[in-house]
Amino acid sequence: MDVREHDLPGVGKKFACTTNEGDRLTVIIHNTGAREIYLFERGEEFPHAAVRLEDPEARKLGAILGGAYFQPAAAESMDMVLGQLSVEWMKVESTSPLAGTTLVEAAVRERTGSSVIAVLRDGKAIPNPQPDLPIRAGDTLMVIGDREQVERFGRLLRGREPA
């Protein structure tokens, strides 16, 4: 897939995608977090279909497309069926007891069973963060585990989980 990125000053970013079969998609990510997706038929200048998603909806769709909810039969050899996993993006508020701690100090895995597999900070992704990475207010954490583990992490992040 060919992807071209364009800045949209005051709006966000535009990603123009052309699939290997020649289909065209345009994704606009607004500074507000909203996303717009436009599908163009071959040779057409105006979109055939469009959808607008709010940030949580777009993240869930991204997890679905990324295989977090279902893996095709080709992935049968995987040890754990990804459909049993839950992947959530959680924002760290300034009031969070985890703000200002490192991942190892927060003992996320020991306390919740979940893992932080990526951090979004200042518009950049930090995949597979190191245990000494400080958690900052404003970070968005990608958390993975089973549903209960991820829910436990959410409670911990909001200060509702016992220490």
Say which CATH number the domain at 143 has: 3.30.70.1450
- Residues 94 and 143 reside in one and the same domain: yes
Tokens at 89, concatenated: 């993006």
Read off the pLDDT of residues 140-153 as tens digits, 9 standing for 90 and up: 999 988 888 988 99
59 found inside a domain: no
- Residues 48 and 89 reside in one and the same domain: no
Mean pLDDT, the chain, as a whole number?
85
- Residues 89 and 46 reside in one and the same domain: no
DSSP letter assigned to residue 36: E
78 found inside a domain: no
72 found inside a domain: no
- Residues 29 and 93 reside in one and the same domain: no
25-29, 47-51, 71-75, 124-128: least confidently modelled range: 71-75
Residue 111 confidence (pLDDT): 92
Mean pLDDT within 127-140: 93
Residue 44 confidence (pLDDT): 83
Read off the pLDDT of residues 4-42 as tens digits, 9 standing for 90 and up: 999 999 899 999 998 887 889 999 999 998 999 999 988
In whole angstroms, give the CA distance from residue 96 to residue 137: 8
How many folded domains does the chain comprise? 2
**Cα 97-144-52 angle, rounded to 5 deg:** 95
Residue 85 confidence (pLDDT): 74
Look at residue 125 and tell me whether its pLDDT is greater than 80: yes
* pTM, rounded to two decimals: 0.51
CB contact at 8 A, 103 and 129: yes
66 found inside a domain: no
Residue 156 confidence (pLDDT): 93
How large a percentage of the chain has pLDDT more than 70? 88
Taking the CA of residue 152 as centre, how many other CA atoms within 13 Å lie in the half-sphere pointing to its CB? 18
- Residues 90 and 37 reside in one and the same domain: no
Domain with 25 in it: 2-53
138 found inside a domain: yes
- Residues 102 and 142 reside in one and the same domain: yes
- Residues 42 and 90 reside in one and the same domain: no
Read off the pLDDT of residues 66-85 as tens digits, 9 standing for 90 and up: 766 665 554 443 444 455 77
125 found inside a domain: yes
62 found inside a domain: no
Among 2, 5, 4, smallest CA distance to 20 is for 2
In whole angstroms, give the CA distance from residue 83 to residue 122: 30
- Residues 91 and 136 reside in one and the same domain: yes
H-type helices in the chain, by residue range? Answer: 55-65, 103-106, 108-112, 147-157
